[in-house]
Chains A and B, each alone.
Chain A
């Protein structure tokens, strides 16, 4: 049997799906059941975008400030300034936030949201589904 035969056979054997008017009705019913989850997912996605934008702005401002400091002050005074422990702490915190933002992706926003803003919010899809 040649290739063209099996191809013709396949093209002419497309199965017929029985028309089922209840299919879309049932689909709509299931969609309404998960409407709350969809709203929450959309809200979290919007929140994630906002946090990403804020992180970007903070990064740019910090960069500009560091550049300005290096240009305006002699290096000796800059080293003396960052020698203070509080600045080290702030730098460490900034690095942690950047690392979590980069590697944690969307999940990190949910966790940060839970830790810092809404302690009772959910961080996994399983929590939404089992709620």
Chain B
């Protein structure tokens, strides 16, 4: 795949990809864009192996999710614990899209277990089918349905508890 062809495809997919990572990164747009760019570079290097067996979008999201997992693993190795107030200030001033961060629904999303959160984001925000989510997360379709159902119930409870 040539660079131009790749960029043309990316131009169409960049917004959903950045939105997906923005929610995963709890509203930290700088971190989300950094991971998105790393994912795109990784996809470009591997583009020779892309055989159109899956949709380009699904393939790209799968790479992006793996990049997010790698990034989170790396950060967890170097993270120095800081107190909550300091963390809140850092996020608000430096890297958090506050209009997004303080919506209660998104705060509730942050409290979901990882797989449930990703399944909900992909299904409701990005309109991916269960089959596509199964391919992105590399888990069976039945498990995706379980995560969606469980995530919905958990979200409903969190939102109700906070009198949304």
Restricting to A17-39, which residues have a CB under 8 Å from any CB of B?
A: 17-18, 20, 23-24, 26-28, 30-31, 33-34, 37-38
| Chain A residues positioned under 8 Å from B29 (CB to CB) | 17-18
| Chain A residues positioned under 8 Å from B49 (CB to CB) | 45
Q: Judge whether B18 and A6 touch: CB under 8 Å.
A: no
Q: Does B79 contact A (CB under 8 A)?
A: no
Q: Does B97 contact A (CB under 8 A)?
A: yes
Q: Judge whether B125 and A10 touch: CB under 8 Å.
A: yes
Q: Is the interface of A mostly helix, strand, loop or mixed?
A: helix
Q: Does B3 contact A (CB under 8 A)?
A: yes
| Chain B residues positioned under 8 Å from A76 (CB to CB) | none
- A45 → chain B closest CB, angstroms: 6
> A17-B15, A26-B37 are contacts. A41–B48 as well, Cβ < 8 Å?
yes
Q: Judge whether B15 and A30 touch: CB under 8 Å.
A: no
Closest to B27 in A: A15
- B10 → chain A closest CB, angstroms: 7
Q: Is the interface of B mostly helix, strand, loop or mixed?
A: helix
Q: Judge whether B45 and A41 touch: CB under 8 Å.
A: yes
- A34 → chain B closest CB, angstroms: 6
| Chain B residues positioned under 8 Å from A3 (CB to CB) | 152, 156
Q: Does B63 contact A (CB under 8 A)?
A: no
Q: Judge whether A23 and B152 touch: CB under 8 Å.
A: no
Q: Does A89 contact B (CB under 8 A)?
A: no
Restricting to A81-126, which residues have a CB under 8 Å from any CB of B?
A: none
Q: Judge whether A6 and B155 touch: CB under 8 Å.
A: yes
Closest to B43 in A: A31
Q: Judge whether A27 and B10 touch: CB under 8 Å.
A: yes
> A1-B156, A3-B156 are contacts. A15–B10 as well, Cβ < 8 Å?
no
Q: Judge whether A28 and B7 touch: CB under 8 Å.
A: yes
Q: Does A13 contact B (CB under 8 A)?
A: yes
> A9-B159, A18-B29, A45-B49 are contacts. A31–B44 as well, Cβ < 8 Å?
yes
| Chain A residues positioned under 8 Å from B124 (CB to CB) | 7, 10-11, 14
Segment of B86-94, B99-107, B132-140 in the binding face: B99-107
| Chain A residues positioned under 8 Å from B10 (CB to CB) | 24, 27
Closest to A14 in B: B125
| Chain B residues positioned under 8 Å from A45 (CB to CB) | 48-49
> A10-B124, A17-B22, A34-B45 are contacts. A1–B33 as well, Cβ < 8 Å?
no
> A17-B15, A17-B19 are contacts. A10–B45 as well, Cβ < 8 Å?
no
* Contacts from A to B (Cβ < 8 Å): 1, 3, 5-7, 9-11, 13-18, 20, 23-24, 26-28, 30-31, 33-34, 37-38, 41-42, 45
